[in-house]
Amino acid sequence: MASTITISCDKLLRLVGTPKAPLVVDVRTEEDFAADPRFVPGAVRRDYATVASWGADLQTRPVVVVCQAGAKLSHGVAAWLRHEGVAAEVLEGGHEAWTAAGHPTVPEAKLPQRDGRGRTVWVTRARPKVDRIACPWLIRRFVDPFAVFLFVQPSEVEAVGQRFEAAPFDVENVFWSHRGERCTFDTMVEELGLGTPALLRLATLVRGADTARPDLAPEAPGLLAASLGLSRMFADDLEQLEAGLLLYDAFYRWCRDATDETHNWPVRKGGT
């Protein structure tokens, strides 16, 4: 019987990217992390030796602890977290097992500089429609659950990025932007090592909606319509982002789990 204080890589993979996913806490030593500076998607780094100072701050959601091999460090941290009232499990086999299984990992080198609280900070144009909601969804669900997004006047994006050490995205002449016919969401999926079948399918929908290419997928016009509707419902960009997260949660689950499912009004058979 599986332990109630551990979780398998395959089970965690099914949870990653969903709204109720546990917070993944990477407690590998500095030496082990330097040897492979990649994260389980959505993971945050914490120092195992100082768990007594930060453990109680994680009581709002379940936690999965990851160390190099799923041994003493992760079990010790998870036990301490449970002492603090946190529902904490250990990833079986740790980071080594995750990577050996070929599951996606996010490279630290591609992430922008973190602020004093360990968060990535991003900046883009105000009044988002498609890409500027899809990209924050991807970051919050698969990269940094605590990421900060700044929406500013288009002319000020790069200057705000420089002054506030925020990574600009979805504007011209920056790294995180369109490349040829591909949109910023495509760029992020590729650069962040998140090219799973579900996210690649979702990227096609986003590209079709964002670049006026409804021919790319029959669902693209529906995504565009929902995105434009949200932009009319909310005057505040951050409120629109929070509502948009649910929209992309639904499209992601369709891409991952429901593309073969159909629906129709029941038709009476053999009757009049």
Instruction: State pTM to two decimals.
Output: 0.94
Q: What's the whole-number mean pLDDT along residues 190-215?
A: 97
Predicted pLDDT at 272:
46
Q: Which pLDDT tens digit goes with each residue over 5-15? A: 999 999 999 99
The closest of 47, 45, 223, 258 to 144, measured between CA atoms, is 45
For helices 131-142 and 197-210, the axis angle rounded to 10 degrees is 160
DSSP 172: T
Helix (H) or strand (E) holding 197, with range, is: helix 197-210
Q: Could you give the CA distance from residue 110 to residue 260 in angstroms, rounded to a whole number?
A: 34
Q: What's the whole-number mean pLDDT along residues 154-176?
A: 97
Q: How confident is the model at residue 3 (pLDDT cuts 50, 70, 90)?
A: low
Q: Which pLDDT tens digit goes with each residue over 14-67? A: 999 999 999 999 999 999 999 999 999 999 999 999 999 999 899 889 999 999
Pick the CATH number of 6-104 from 3.40.250.10, 3.50.50.60, 3.40.630.30, 3.40.50.620: 3.40.250.10
Domain locations in the chain as residue ranges: 6-104, 111-258
Average per-residue pLDDT for the chain? 95
Instruction: Say how many C-beta atoms besides its own lie within 10 A of residue 104's C-beta.
Output: 21
Contact residues for 24 (Cβ-Cβ < 8 A; gap 6+): 12, 16, 39, 40, 41, 42, 43, 44, 63, 64, 66, 91
Q: Could you give the CA distance from residue 184 to residue 87 in angstroms, rounded to a whole number?
A: 36
Q: What type of residue sits at position 8?
A: S
